[in-house]
Chain A
Amino acid sequence: MFASCTDPAALGDLHWLVCYLTTAKHLSFYASFGTVLLLLAVTAPAALALGFAGAVAARSRVLLLSWLGKGYIALVRGVPDIAFFLFFVIALDQGVEYLRHVWLCPDWSEPIRQGSDFRVCPPAKAPLGNAPQWVHEVYGFALAVFTFALVFGAFAANVLFGAMRAVPRAQMETAEAYGMTPRQSFRRILVPQMWVYALPGLSNLWMVLIKATPLLFLLGVEDIVYWARELGGTKTPQFTDYPHGDWRMWYFLFLLVFYLAFTRLSEIVLDRVMARLTKGQATLGGDAQRKAAA
């Protein structure tokens, strides 16, 4: 990166380190932190939306919807994450390609399954075989986001389902006494009041989601764990300008600090949100706030 880095072997320790930490490979490592943060930023709202839909479906009076919601919650929560991430993503990818195949190549005569091979016609490949590598990466990332959202959405649905039931019945009865329709009382009373009951569960989920991001590498997305492993590995002088021993411990220590700092930051933010949501609620926390103010 810097012009003075052309001959690393001749540099002093500190200068060497500066040069080492700014190689193009290290820049990819730093960029992968962005990948992880982006995944969290996209997945969290998506999972919450799925969870909300799942919870609403599960408590629906329409039997079919209710089964659908409850089935989603039970099924996804019951399957181990790692099985889900390995099996579901490949199945999803092949499902997309199969549908595109049926749509785009109606007169393709060769079978799709040939032994262990999965072959769709070239225009049905997702992404297309001649698409640039970044398209493949974006596609992989999108699959990852979808899978994460689906898994965490099921847990969120269960949390929200419980939170909706925790809102005091008296609040809903009052709404009915005011003549609100079920739809109105759901929107005006139930949803605003349920968050305070949902937040402890949701904050747990957020923490688990942060720690689950290394699963990204299973899906072929190069995340921080991949780069830490790659950069920390022993480098012999034949293949790099910066030979070093097994430094994986230092890289993983850095990841540990990153994850700890990030979860601590999340805790602080979530505490504030909790205080804000508690305001005026008929909960112990709400009572405590009222007494403190009085």
Chain B
Amino acid sequence: MKNLILPAALLALTAGGALAQTVRLGTEGAYPPYNFINDKGEIDGFERALGDELCKRASLTCEWVKNDWDSIIPNLVSGNYDVIIAGMSITDERDKVIDFTQDYYPPTASVFVAKTADANTKGVVSAQTATIQAGYVAESGAQLLEFATPEETVAAVRNGEADAVFADFDYLKPIVDAAGGELVIAGEPVPLGKGVGMGFRESDKPLRDKFDAAITAMKADGSLNALLKTWFGDATKTY
């Protein structure tokens, strides 16, 4: 019996290696323009376009998976998907648990948004759980109000629960534009983090290197800059 199983297992192993392995890309789908669900119910946004392009360049078959922000790292390390591509900033704290590629989005500016431009950014400030913004608010001496989704952090300012919300400029910008003066940017932008990168299991070095090489190539031929401008406007930082 054992003699039968062994070759069968070896066959399965080699067959798995020969077949194009599907790489599962995990994202939150609630953080436009990085990633969001479009009217068709599909994942869309800057990271969708970037991820598809990177997979094409690395000749990988990729599949998109939605996952809550809260459990996005635990589900990566337990193997439910292979990559996090969800506007996640590279930080030392996260780097201890997972591996990052180089940044595909330059170090971001985060801003406060409130009902008035002179709002108290040291008062009650809302931010999404387990983000660098939440860490910054906690250390700034303001009272941190954490929410599981970005949507709720903005709603907290609208209904007066928080004095201001602190998040990526690119996420808040379209909301401020659409709010018709109800929400404005308060205070100065705060540069945070080392840019946004793709997250991998620490034991997945070869896969990480493939994507890293593809990002390098996209930076070199200018296609990443073009993509950044498409999604974040001409004024955005480029490489």
Contact = CB atoms under 8 A, between A and B. Distances in A.
B44 A239 contact: yes
B37 A129 contact: no
B12 A246 contact: no
Contact of A93 (B16, B64, B78): B78
A125 B202 contact: no
A240 B65 contact: no
A119 B9 contact: no
Contact of A104 (B9, B61, B78): B9
B11 to A, nearest CB: 10
B65 A130 contact: no
B21 A118 contact: no
A13 B53 CA distance: 39
A28 interface: yes
Interface stretch (A196-204, A228-236, A254-262): A228-236
A238 B13 CA distance: 46
Contact of B151 (A129, A130, A133, A233): A233
Interface residues of B, number: 51
B2 to A, nearest CB: 8
Given A130-B20, A233-B30, A234-B175, A122 B39 contact: no
B187 interface: no
Contacts of B149: 229, 233
B19 interface: yes
Interface string A99-135: 0000111110000001111111111010001111100
A53 B64 CA distance: 41
A28 B21 CA distance: 28
B158 interface: yes
B203 interface: yes
Contacts of A238: 32-33, 174
A239 B40 contact: no
Interface string B161-203: 0000000000000110110000000000000000000000111
A121 B13 contact: yes
Contacts of B151: 229, 233-234, 246, 248
Given A120-B79, A130-B20, A130-B61, 16 more contacts: A25-B38, A25-B40, A25-B41, A103-B5, A105-B9, A105-B13, A114-B202, A136-B65, A217-B68, A229-B149, A234-B151, A234-B175, A236-B32, A237-B178, A238-B174, A246-B155
22 contacts: A23-B41, A25-B39, A93-B78, A94-B78, A105-B13, A107-B6, A114-B203, A115-B97, A117-B202, A118-B78, A131-B22, A133-B63, A136-B65, A217-B68, A220-B75, A222-B66, A234-B175, A236-B32, A237-B178, A242-B39, A246-B158, A248-B151
Q: Top 10 closest A-B pairs, CB basis?
A: A130-B22, A25-B41, A233-B151, A236-B178, A236-B174, A24-B40, A123-B12, A28-B41, A114-B203, A23-B39
Interface of A: 23-25, 27-28, 90, 93-94, 97, 103-107, 114-123, 125, 129-133, 136, 217, 220, 222, 229-230, 233-234, 236-243, 246, 248
